[in-house]
């Protein structure tokens, strides 16, 4: 049985991360040696992983790999006395001005002679987040701080353009640095240092360093592993792995098209590097049959595509009391999610049912815009932005229904999670996920994109008829648990593995 490597840029808190964690649980439970490989430079990835383990989202048997984590070394490699601090050695002699601005707490440091030395951005607990260093009020370096030590420094030219990034182990050892052309902002070479050999290796860019590390990583396995790469930036790097050193499978969690998000819209530019090399892949897993058909028609190479939906992490039923007036959304507050559409539709709901409420859980770039929309429509106290939640299923289980008004969705786990807790979903019928997951009129309602009036009517019908909502919820749980259960999805993955192994010549 081959090991499985789930490759993503980073473990965050969004839909792709949740899908990968469900895959990890599914594969580990089926007896596969399972790894999650990330490429980001976050110094807190170990702490984040431990939080996920404590919450039961990251199984104990799943191992993590990351080039920055390896290059930083273990605590045994560190020399505490050499830890690189950001502050100047004479910090006790400096004078400080502290205050607050729109970004939070800060501290400015001055020498006794009046020279402006540095600007410190502080976290809520008083620790330093980053430090800007100045010479004659000109920014020359920004140090990013983690656990009271510098983990990354960015250097600037006199006109404020970036010209170098350096990454540090806690000891202060610079294990990799990226040179930048100040004029274009493009990379001008990456230099990776090995503390043991005393050598420095040059790479054309950061992607090349990532590929070299990933190749070294897969070469450690006695049998070529199965690598499932699942983000746009990582798939082209996986394609560059030496053929037959791994079974190389891409998985797409997005729509293949850009605005205006119809079948024949322009292709997404961030996947150009993947779409132009389809024949180099051993398999390309797509979340639904409808999307597979459209992609094969548009891109060719139909033999590379397979269909594997996201597995649904299934837990015992949530024991909460249903609120007969509550409708909810659990989502990133991002432009793609078009949550302003739901707010406008809910103004119509409120006019018909004054006791109805909409709670929106999540955070993101458009939070301020959404709050402004709420206030402009006179819905303060009726529609509320609740912030992030660690218990999305409890929120959904309390609701009569949930809403999805996205411009596109490949296979949204938020819809599946709502159905699994017996809460029907009213959704815009965008490409491709809502119609894949919702049985229209049986487990929820599909309405045309931007159909605010139709959305409002569907919500009103469920709020007025709790028996109908309950019946739809029961049907939704039965349907979604059968289609997205671990055994069902594992069967689809095993068929994809066999297909990919044949194409790779490793069957």
pLDDT in tens, 126-142: 999 999 999 999 999 99
For residue 48, give both structure tokens: 């984040």
Q: What is the pLDDT of residues 257-294, one digit of tens each?
A: 999 999 999 999 999 999 999 999 999 999 999 999 99
The two counts, helices (H) then strands (E), for the chain are 15, 23
200 and 212 both lie in a single domain: no
333 and 476 both lie in a single domain: yes
Of 430, 427, 432, nearest in space to 455 by CA:
427
CATH of residue 353: 3.40.50.2000
Is 110 within 8 Å of 117 (Cβ atoms)? yes
Q: What is the pLDDT of residues 490-506, one digit of tens each?
A: 999 999 999 999 999 99
CATH of residue 114: 2.40.128
Of 384, 389, 383, nearest in space to 362 by CA:
389
CA 102-104-107 angle, 5° bins: 115
Domain closes at, from 307, 341, 359? 307
pLDDT of residue 86: 58
CA 459-461-464 angle, 5° bins: 110
pLDDT of residue 195: 85
Is 98 within 8 Å of 109 (Cβ atoms)? no
346 and 467 both lie in a single domain: yes
| Burial degree of 316 (CB within 10 A; 0-12, 13-18, 19+) | exposed
| 427 in a structural domain | yes
pLDDT of residue 76: 46
Q: What is the pLDDT of residues 212-260, one digit of tens each?
A: 999 999 999 999 999 999 999 999 999 999 999 999 999 999 999 999 9
Q: Which residues are CB-neighbours of 223 under 8 A, at least 6 positions away?
A: 2, 3
pLDDT of residue 81: 39
pLDDT of residue 92: 57
Residue 352: pLDDT band with limits 50, 70, 90 = very high
43 and 151 both lie in a single domain: no
Q: Indicate whether 14 pLDDT > 90.
A: no
Q: Indicate whether 115 pLDDT > 60.
A: yes
Q: Indicate whether 80 pLDDT > 50.
A: no
pLDDT of residue 196: 83
Mean pLDDT of 456-461: 98
Residue 89: pLDDT band with limits 50, 70, 90 = very low
| 22 in a structural domain | yes
pLDDT of residue 13: 81
| 498 in a structural domain | no
351 and 420 both lie in a single domain: yes
Q: State percent of the chain over pLDDT 70.
A: 96
The β-bridge relationship of strands 95-101 and 63-65 is: unpaired
Distance CA(323)–CA(397), nearest Å, equals: 9
What is the DSSP-derived secondary structure letter of residue 234? T
Q: Indicate whether 433 pLDDT > 90.
A: yes
167 and 216 both lie in a single domain: no
| 67 in a structural domain | yes
112 and 193 both lie in a single domain: yes
Q: Which residues are CB-neighbours of 23 under 8 A, at least 6 positions away?
A: 6, 228, 310, 311
pLDDT of residue 197: 86
291 and 355 both lie in a single domain: no
Q: Which residues are CB-neighbours of 66 under 8 A, at least 6 positions away?
A: 37, 38, 39, 40, 45
Q: What is the pLDDT of residues 374-389, one digit of tens each?
A: 999 999 999 999 999 9
pLDDT of residue 472: 98
Q: Which residue has the tokens 């039965």?
A: 478
Distance CA(503)–CA(507), nearest Å, equals: 8
Mean pLDDT of 425-435: 97
Distance CA(455)–CA(434), nearest Å, equals: 14
Domain closes at, from 176, 204, 232? 204
27 three-class SS:
helix
Domain closes at, from 186, 204, 222? 204
Mean pLDDT of 9-33: 94
Mean pLDDT of 166-172: 94
For residue 138, give both structure tokens: 């000109």
Which residues form the domain of 63?
A: 4-74+208-307
Specify the DSSP element, H or E, that contains 250. Answer: strand 247-251
47 and 88 both lie in a single domain: no
The reported pTM is 0.90
Q: Indicate whether 78 pLDDT > 70.
A: no
| 505 in a structural domain | no
Specify the DSSP element, H or E, that contains 146. Answer: strand 138-146
**First-last CA distance in the chain:** 12
Residue 79: pLDDT band with limits 50, 70, 90 = very low
User: Cβ atoms within 10 A of the Cβ of 84, count?
Assistant: 16
Distance CA(62)–CA(326), nearest Å, equals: 38
| 500 in a structural domain | no
Distance CA(12)–CA(367), nearest Å, equals: 19
- In the chain, the number of structural domains is 3
| 319 in a structural domain | no
144 and 266 both lie in a single domain: no
Mean pLDDT of 41-66: 94
Least confident of 75-84, 338-347, 436-445, 457-466: 75-84
Q: Indicate whether 74 pLDDT > 80.
A: no
Q: State percent of the chain over pLDDT 90.
A: 91
| 493 in a structural domain | no
Q: Indicate whether 73 pLDDT > 90.
A: no
289 and 397 both lie in a single domain: no
65 and 95 both lie in a single domain: no
Distance CA(412)–CA(254), nearest Å, equals: 10
């Amino acid at each position: 049985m081959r090991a499985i490597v789930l490759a993503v840029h980073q473990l965050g808190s969004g839909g792709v991360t949740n899908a990968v964690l469900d895959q990890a649980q599914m594969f580990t439970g089926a007896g596969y040696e399972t790894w999650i490989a990330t490429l980001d430079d976050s110094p807190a990835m170990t702490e984040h992983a431990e939080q996920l383990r404590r919450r039961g989202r990251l199984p104990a048997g799943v191992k993590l790999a990351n080039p920055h984590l390896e290059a930083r070394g273990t605590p045994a490699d560190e020399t505490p006395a050499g830890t690189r601090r950001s502050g100047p050695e004479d910090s006790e002699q400096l004078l400080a001005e502290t205050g607050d601005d729109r970004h939070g707490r800060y501290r400015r440091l001055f020498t006794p002679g009046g020279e402006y030395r540095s600007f410190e951005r502080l976290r809520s607990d008083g620790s330093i987040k980053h430090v800007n260093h100045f010479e004659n009020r000109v920014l020359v370096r920004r140090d990013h701080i983690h656990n009271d030590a510098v983990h990354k420094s960015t250097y600037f030219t006199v006109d404020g353009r970036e010209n170098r990034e350096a990454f540090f182990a806690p000891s202060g050892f610079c294990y990799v640095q990226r040179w930048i052309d100040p004029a274009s902002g493009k990379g001008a070479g990456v230099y990776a240092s090995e503390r043991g050999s005393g050598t420095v290796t040059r790479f054309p860019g950061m992607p090349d360093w990532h590929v070299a590390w990933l190749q070294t990583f897969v070469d450690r396995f006695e049998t070529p592993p199965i690598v499932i790469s699942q983000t746009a930036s990582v798939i082209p790097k996986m394609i560059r792995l030496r053929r037959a050193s791994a079974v190389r499978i891409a998985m797409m969690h997005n729509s293949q098209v850009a605005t205006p998000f119809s079948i024949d819209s322009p292709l997404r530019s961030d996947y150009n590097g993947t779409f132009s090399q389809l024949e180099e892949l051993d398999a390309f897993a797509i979340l639904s049959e409808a999307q597979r058909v459209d992609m094969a028609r548009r891109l060719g190479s139909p033999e590379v595509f397979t269909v594997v939906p996201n597995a649904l992490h299934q837990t015992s039923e949530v024991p909460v009391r249903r609120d007969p007036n509550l409708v909810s959304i659990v989502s990133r507050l991002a432009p793609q999610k078009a949550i302003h559409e739901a707010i406008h539709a809910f103004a119509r709901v409120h006019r018909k049912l004054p006791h109805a409420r909409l709670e929106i859980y999540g955070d993101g770039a458009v939070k301020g815009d959404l709050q402004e929309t709420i206030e402009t429509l006179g819905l303060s106290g009726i529609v509320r932005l609740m912030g992030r939640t660690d218990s999305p299923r409890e929120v959904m289980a309390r609701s009569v229904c949930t809403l999805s008004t996205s411009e596109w969705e490949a296979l949204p786990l938020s819809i599946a999670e709502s159905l699994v807790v017996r809460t029907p979903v009213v959704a815009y019928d965008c490409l491709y996920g809502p119609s894949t997951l919702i049985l229209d009129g049986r487990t929820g309602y599909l309405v045309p994109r931007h159909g605010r009036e139709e959305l409002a009517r569907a919500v009103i019908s469920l709020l007025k008829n709790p028996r109908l909502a309950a019946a739809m919820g029961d049907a939704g749980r039965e349907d979604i648990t059968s289609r997205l259960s671990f055994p069902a999805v594992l069967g689809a993955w095993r068929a994809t593995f066999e297909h990919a192994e044949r194409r790779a010549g490793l069957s």
